A and B are shown apart, each in its own frame.
Chain A
């Protein structure tokens, strides 16, 4: 077995953005949130991720603006470091090791100096203030950061745990404790869940498990404290927040309704209902213009202060169970899995962004625990991506199982799936597996188990119902050309012909029930590979109907790459409790690649996602990553993938480039020319001439693409851009004949011009207003370069330009 040093397992996308409360920058333009091991910076207006702040090696556990400099932010991490970032540029300024794992960070402004307080896990028992002159000690602090808040002007700190509220005054160095009775008569729970402190008055708001909010006052007295109670929520209040002026109090909980209470006029309240999922955090921007709520479905909603939703940043939705497997939509290359309850989500792995949710169940989801509602349990795509099949089920305690099989057709017009057929109760029992026949002819067959075939003529109808010794079929798969269907019944694999629906042969390798079945692809399509529960990996040759080879390994998951012959198997190493990955080709029992200690705990789901652009690694060990990338979900629902060093380096470079782009004043020319510079740097770094020759074509289109993908708020007015496009169109038409010849020459001439431009750019690093003043002159000097650039652009991409013009 070979270990390959240059391939490593990384977190790539889909990490939680709702684990800690986000932070809004003081100008309300940017939103920072902890996401896995990095801090993501989003634009509040376009929902776009502007950049990642990478550097922590553990989970980021808190982000905070630096009170003394509103362009800098602190982040702390489970790796025990606190880092200071310039978040507009994404630069790490300094870092400091705290030694123990920080759970959360709170700061507050206190005249000139600021305090950074790290709360340690309860076992260390203490709260350590790493400040210049203050050192407070509060023992027994809740690990939930929502249960700690700083009071007015940082004079005191409030912490709630269990049934006790503790207020510590820094000046007097004195703390007051108030406790509540465990239950009142009606059996309601009084446990504290969160606290918030009024920015101007001495008033503390606490949320409770029974949905009550208490407003505490006069808490600087042991006995004469007093509180009033607000009650709207019917279950736990999970987050509370005062607006910066203290005029409103925001609260949220499982009901997924944001409630806005008027401070001191508590009978008046505003609601923002139907936020989609339980609210976990509420944050208000420093100027009070934006509210921001995190939700349990990995979503951040940005709300204007007039209680109107303005933007939604959606991460990968990970429910408790992932009943549909991970799939890849052949059209959009997006990963598809259960999303919100009753939905399928399409998640772009490349851009780490949720593309859209497809409402499968089409019923209102009721946000209440303990209700049995319809859930999507299976889904399958055809190879072309034209059809989608989905299965939803609901099992209520005493009622019969309710099943719906839905078939969705892709509608070119609306560019989404449209419900074509609903088959209610297709089977009597649970559907165990479902797949489409991958044939190319119009007759598409879809198969669902407990073994029934559904046919598509003009309409979908049941074509055939088969059974084998009245056993329960476990998994099924079609061969690549659609001529064979393999279905496993416990230890037996049956092979059927989809055209005539006859049982061709049975294969069996007892003991042990079959777990996974895969047909080989391309050159290996004569092989059928299966894993059994009895630690066997078998490969049958379908031409001879005989076992080609088998090996004994405890495979938990087996899957085939649709774009190559490769297959991946995840192995459970029992005594080590770690997962090993093997990649192999079915025609030889020899691993192409293996990786030990991928992660701890079981791998539940995995998928090969095709790459957008092929990698051309010639190393044998990393060749299997050329066409597609292997993503997998660990037990704690982290999405991981394998990546090579070269790929990482490229991504790093790309992200760097983007960062620089953002830091420079945004003019349309810069967007075009900034690319030139990057390209030039690449050329200078000594790549071979072949790649240099090839790159101009995609590079040019990428520049335009960049122009389109850049968040709208940093682009100049559309009228300005539009004339540019039209101009480019005209020029390209006139020169279209000669342009192919000229490519080489242009490239060289560009090199010279670029060096000039660089000088200009270095001057152009100045406030945006000045850049804008200078625009007119720059246009004049740069017209030539621009014309060339646009000429090249035209040649590349006629299709989209026409569509832009259509719009």
Chain B
């Protein structure tokens, strides 16, 4: 497997923020998740639940509600604004003030392109959705309390509004209230004019929407019912962290009379469930405990398939850590600030598995607060450690770092070329002489870095034409010799640019699944890509074709256990001492692929490191295969090689995250 000195980094105090709202678009199979800090994440459920896009948050934007209209995504927040997002450039497209105080809820009618916002002052405001913007149409009658929840009847003629203590049903034509009272966090308006409400008394109530009469009450918790979502069944999330499913079932088999019956209860959260989405086959829930949980409904999926497994998405599917290989520096990215750390040192030697004494403790060098309201969306540190750059939706900032013995000075470069106004991804060349920033329309801007200034060099663009998308670039990689630049976008395309000629070298054949990590081998200049569906490819840049090894791998197929992992590979690096070694990691394991060894077939044990250790030295070779998997490190955020045969492993144990969350609702447990 190769021996490494491992820096086990646990001082990255990454803290994901709680989930506030969710919206599932069944047409595109994408889930939008809004977090407490205003960030919006888009997950592609068709592509192995890959986190495709992240729109960074903003200080003033607290998203309370999310909504899809076709391919368009809208949100409403406590700042009283309705925002539409530009999903290609990963930024808010425009915002419209609702003028009703904080907006609590947002509901779209798919039929008649109307959107309604429930506001603090008790008004329900109706907006018309136009091609490029939304336009205020009218106010409904003003109510006494704030409007907490809204739900459209699928036909678009009525809307139910949950308020402090009551549900009101508005006719969308006239805007006059129809009536009925309870305490409401969430309402759902079903096609048969049934209104279902979840309230702070812990009840899920079924109402007749025509007459306003209560049909049935289900008391499901002592605390609040916070979220409701319906598809073929109804799910309700509670403050206890449980999700309860209700199904519309005939009481007697074969008869028409149906009733809403409480069926299953899932407990996947330790804290409040704030947001729920019901897909065809699963219930997606998220809340205060920051994890996104996909709970498949076993009656809708085939048993024992990948779809039937419970999935928890705890970490973002992209890198928040940047490692300067040559100088042993780590850059941690938070929404609000950046932290620069110097790794500790140790001069001890020990057997494999020993932990070495630390001679010099890791040291925090810089705590850099970002400017402006927008949250940091991407950051980069040059390999020499001399340059630091970060970008928000609105601006890019570049800093020059200088180290004098123990002191460190940081200087912002005052003038940046105007082409470099915003970027989705940043990357420095290995000799730290160039900065690459991905920009709109999948283009990459190349900037030359001088001693104290920078100069715009070129904009690399993919060939526009039939079949190309204009999705944002989410991965950038520069080869060791600074000859090649690989850029992958969420449209699954990977473009290779020749940096010497500053032009497009080739485009890797488009694979159906989105790449999650790319890297170019320093010696052979082969591009290694790993995709959301866990497939691995190796592409020769010189020959412009898949390598022999890659073909062999595809022919033989990957091991089932490898394919069944539910977290994507987020980093690829190479062992500088052995060019056959590719180092990969996901959240739960670290894997070294040895290309010189035979590939495992379906029957061999994939996780065989322990068994290998027990067989004698002579026989090991016969038993070993290409995939060497190490599970010593868990909850990995980053694994990177350093120059001196050392490995940096950044861990963030989930327990640490848990312990920093606010206390959940106290519950009496039996026998405690």
Contacts and interface: CB of A to CB of B under 8 A. Distances in A.
Contacts of A266: 262
SS class, residues of chain B in contact with chain A: strand
A202 B252 contact: yes
B264 A218 contact: no
Interface in A422-461: none
Interface string B207-250: 00000000011111000000000000000000000000101011
Given A201-B252, A224-B299, A225-B299, A265 B261 contact: no
A217 B219 contact: no
Given A223-B299, A225-B299, A234-B670, A217 B252 contact: no
Given A267-B219, A267-B220, A226 B249 contact: yes
A201 B670 CA distance: 32
A227 interface: yes
A57 interface: no
B251 A226 contact: no
A228 B265 contact: yes
B257 to A, nearest CB: 10
B253 A220 contact: yes
Given A227-B264, A234-B670, A264-B261, A218 B220 contact: no
Given A265-B219, A267-B219, A217 B299 contact: no
B297 to A, nearest CB: 9
Contacts of B556: none
Contacts of A226: 245, 247, 249, 263-264, 299
Interface residues of A, number: 21
A152 interface: yes
A217 B670 contact: no
A218 B255 CA distance: 12
Interface in B255-281: 261-265
A208 to B, nearest CB: 15
A118 B251 CA distance: 29
Nearest to A169: B253
A229 interface: yes
Interface string B273-308: 000000000000000000000000001000000000
B209 to A, nearest CB: 21
Contacts, number: 49
B343 to A, nearest CB: 38
Contact of A228 (B251, B253, B264): B264
B603 to A, nearest CB: 26
A228 B263 contact: yes
B265 A229 contact: yes
A97 B563 CA distance: 62
A218 B249 contact: yes
Interface string A217-243: 110100111111100001000000000
Given A201-B251, A224-B299, A225-B299, A217 B263 contact: yes
A368 to B, nearest CB: 11
Interface in A262-284: 264-268
Contacts of B261: 217, 228, 264
Nearest to A246: B251
B252 A228 contact: no
Nearest to A202: B253
A212 to B, nearest CB: 11
A228 B299 CA distance: 13
Contact of B251 (A202, A225, A265, A267): A202
Contact of A152 (B247, B252, B263, B299): B252
A223 B281 CA distance: 13
Nearest to B262: A228
Interface centre among B219, B252, B264 (most CB of A within 10 A): B252
Interface string A147-177: 0000010000000000000000000000000
A105 B220 CA distance: 39
Interface string A287-319: 000000000000000000000000000000000
Nearest to B302: A223
Nearest to A211: B670
Contact of B249 (A152, A200, A217, A234): A217
Contacts of A201: 251-252
Contacts of B250: 202, 218
A234 B670 CA distance: 9
Interface centre among B217, B245, B262 (most CB of A within 10 A): B262
B643 to A, nearest CB: 44
A224 to B, nearest CB: 5
Contacts of A265: 217-219
Contacts of B671: 234
A452 B410 CA distance: 96
Nearest to B261: A217
A223 B265 CA distance: 18
Nearest to A221: B299
Nearest to A234: B670
A266 B262 CA distance: 9
Contacts of A217: 247, 249, 261, 263
Contacts of B265: 228-229
Contacts of B264: 226-229
Nearest to B222: A267
A198 to B, nearest CB: 9
A267 B218 CA distance: 8
Given A234-B670, A267-B220, A227 B263 contact: yes
A266 B263 CA distance: 11
Contacts of B252: 152, 200-202
B630 to A, nearest CB: 25
A152 B253 CA distance: 10
A476 B670 CA distance: 51
A218 to B, nearest CB: 5
Nearest to B265: A229
Contacts of B247: 217-218, 226
A593 to B, nearest CB: 58
B219 to A, nearest CB: 4
A227 B299 CA distance: 11
A478 B219 CA distance: 69
Contacts of B299: 223-226
A228 B263 CA distance: 4
Interface string A200-217: 111100000000000001
A226 B671 CA distance: 29
Nearest to B221: A267
A784 to B, nearest CB: 66
B365 to A, nearest CB: 44
A270 to B, nearest CB: 15
Nearest to A268: B219
Contacts of A220: 253-254
A603 B261 CA distance: 57
Nearest to B247: A226
A223 B261 CA distance: 17
Contacts of A227: 263-264
Interface string A120-164: 000000000000000000000000000000001000000000000
A228 B262 CA distance: 7
Contacts of A152: 252
Leading 6 A-B pairs by shortest Cβ distance = A201-B251, A267-B219, A226-B263, A220-B253, A228-B263, A202-B253
Interface of B: 216-220, 245, 247, 249-254, 261-265, 299, 670-671
27 contacts: A200-B251, A200-B252, A202-B250, A202-B251, A217-B263, A218-B247, A218-B249, A218-B250, A218-B253, A220-B253, A220-B254, A223-B299, A224-B299, A225-B299, A226-B245, A226-B299, A227-B263, A228-B261, A228-B262, A228-B264, A228-B265, A229-B264, A265-B217, A265-B219, A266-B262, A267-B219, A267-B220
Given A201-B251, A226-B245, A226-B299, 20 more contacts: A201-B252, A202-B253, A203-B251, A217-B247, A218-B249, A218-B250, A220-B253, A220-B254, A223-B299, A226-B247, A226-B263, A226-B264, A227-B264, A228-B261, A228-B262, A228-B265, A229-B264, A264-B261, A265-B217, A265-B218
Interface of A: 152, 200-203, 217-218, 220, 223-229, 234, 264-268
